[in-house]
């Protein structure tokens, strides 16, 4: 299911110290479901370097990203979320997306970015741990949920150890893998061999 604009383009934020393992399930399987994945960085064409040392050249600059051109914005965690305000513009863009009714999925450190932006004050959410978000000074502590991943309307959040649960919630919001999401989750989260046949049946 694409956003009402009809686009199936999913935008993946990329920045220095991006945590490589957190969004791979979501992006790879969305691409297999027919979505186009485009990377969005601080500056178009200027490489960023992940925690693993992998260089990524963004397709698009953050300033040029418009919610109406996107089905979803994915914000991976990064060490830079805990080092200052350099990535604050990505959280501000998330606000623009949510205001426009376009979903946002944030994992690990990106949830702290959203907390600082005030986007978790009124939405159910999760993260690495309650104290991690509490350190941001945000006002949404009573809405913290101790779960692998949480979807509240257009916002999806997860902690750093739950890339599979994170992807499942992303698929659910976009209507991907209808009827097969449970099998997909059991295969990749639980290593259930029976789920392989269900997923590929």
pLDDT at 63 over 50: yes
Question: How many beta carbons lie within 10 A of that of residue 172, not counting itself?
Answer: 15
The answer, yes or no, to whether residue 3 has pLDDT greater than 60, is no
State which fold the 9-200 domain adopts: Rossmann fold (3.40.50)
Name which of 81, 101, 79, 102 is nearest 91 in CA terms.
81
* Residue 7 reports pLDDT greater than 90: no
Question: Average of pLDDT values for 167-171?
Answer: 97
**Which residues lie below 8 Å from residue 107, measured CB to CB, with a gap of 6+?**
19, 22, 23, 75, 76, 77, 157, 158, 159, 160, 162, 163, 166
Q: How far apart are CA 170 and CA 151, in angstroms?
A: 8
Catalytic residues: 108
* Nearest-angstrom CA–CA distance, 201 and 94: 37
What is the pLDDT at residue 5? Answer: 52
Instruction: Say how far apart CA 126 and CA 112 lie, in whole Å.
Output: 10
pLDDT score of 1 more than 70:
no
| Cα distances (Å, whole numbers) of residue 172 to 54, 144, 146 | 29, 21, 19
Calculate mean pLDDT across residues 81-88: 94
Q: What is the mean pLDDT of the chain?
A: 95
Q: E-assigned strands of 71-178?
A: 72-75, 104-107, 149-152, 155-158
pLDDT in tens, 87-143: 999 999 999 999 999 999 999 999 999 999 999 999 999 999 999 999 999 999 999
* pLDDT band at 2; cut points 50, 70, 90: very low
Candidates 114, 158, 154; CA nearest to 136 is 114
**In angstroms, rounded to a whole number, what is the distance separating the alpha carbons of residues 93 and 72?**
12
162-186 average pLDDT score: 96
């Amino acid at each position: 299911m694409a956003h009402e604009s009809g686009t199936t383009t999913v935008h993946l934020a990329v920045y220095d110290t991006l945590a490589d393992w957190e969004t791979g399930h979501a992006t790879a399987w969305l691409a297999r479901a027919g979505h186009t994945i485009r990377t969005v960085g601080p500056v178009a064409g200027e490489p960023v370097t992940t925690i693993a040392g992998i260089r990524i050249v963004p397709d698009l600059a953050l300033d040029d990203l418009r919610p109406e051109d996107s089905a979803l914005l994915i914000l991976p965690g990064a060490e830079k979320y805990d080092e200052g305000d350099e990535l604050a513009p990505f959280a501000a863009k998330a606000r623009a997306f949510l205001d426009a009714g376009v979903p946002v999925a944030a994992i690990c450190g990106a949830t702290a970015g959203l907390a600082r932006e005030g986007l978790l004050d009124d939405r159910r959410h999760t993260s690495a741990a309650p104290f991690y978000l509490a350190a941001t000074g945000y006002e949404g502590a009573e809405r913290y949920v101790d779960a692998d991943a949480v979807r509240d309307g257009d916002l999806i959040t997860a902690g750093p150890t739950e890339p599979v649960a994170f992807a499942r919630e992303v698929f659910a919001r976009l209507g991907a893998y209808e009827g097969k999401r449970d099998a997909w989750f059991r295969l990749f989260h639980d290593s259930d061999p029976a789920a392989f046949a269900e997923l590929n049946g």
